[in-house]
Amino acid sequence: MKSTSERLPGEGGLFNQPKAVWAVAFACVISFMGMGLVDPILPAISKQLNATGSQVSLLFSSYTLVTGLMMLITGFISSRIGPKWTMIVGIAFNIAFSAFAGMSDTVWQIVGFRGGWGLGNALFIATALTAIVGLSTGGTAKAIILYEAALGLGISVGPLLGGELGSISWRGPFFGVSVLMAFAFVAILVLLPKIPKPKVRISIADPFKALRYPGLLTLGIVALFYNFGFFTLLAYTPLVMELGIHQLGYVFFGWGVALAITSVAGAPKLARAMGAVPALRLMLLLFALDLAAMGVWHASKTALVILVIVAGLFLGVINTLLTTVVMGAAPVERSVASASYNFVRFVGGAIGPWLANKLHEWTGNVQLPFYFGALIVFLGIAVTWLGRRALRNVDAGGGH
- Rounded to two decimals, the pTM is 0.83
Q: What are 115-152's pLDDT values in tens digits?
A: 998 888 888 877 887 788 777 776 667 777 777 778 77
* Range name among 1-10, 209-218, 287-296 with the lowest pLDDT average: 1-10
pLDDT at 219 over 80: yes
Amino acid at position 315, single letter: L
Amino acid at position 70, single letter: M
**Distance between CA atoms of residues 91 and 95, nearest Å:** 6
Q: Are 225 and 377 in contact (CB under 8 A)?
A: yes
What would the DSSP string read from start to end of 138-203? S-HHHHHHHHHHHHHHHHHHHHHHHHHHHTT-TTHHHHHHHHHHHHHHHHHHHHPPPPPPPSSPPP
**Residue 11 or residue 282, greater confidence:** 282
Q: Are 142 and 7 in contact (CB under 8 A)?
A: no
The per-residue pLDDT for 9 is: 41
The per-residue pLDDT for 397 is: 44
Averaged pLDDT of the chain: 84
Q: What would the mean pLDDT of 21-30 be, rounded to a whole number?
A: 85
The per-residue pLDDT for 13 is: 56
The Cβ-side half-sphere exposure at 125, using a 13 Å CA radius, reads 33
Question: Which residues are within 8 A (CB) of 146 and not within 5 positions of it... i.e. 6 or more apart?
Answer: 14, 15, 17, 21, 25, 132, 136
Q: What would the mean pLDDT of 201-212 be, rounded to a whole number?
A: 83
The per-residue pLDDT for 15 is: 64
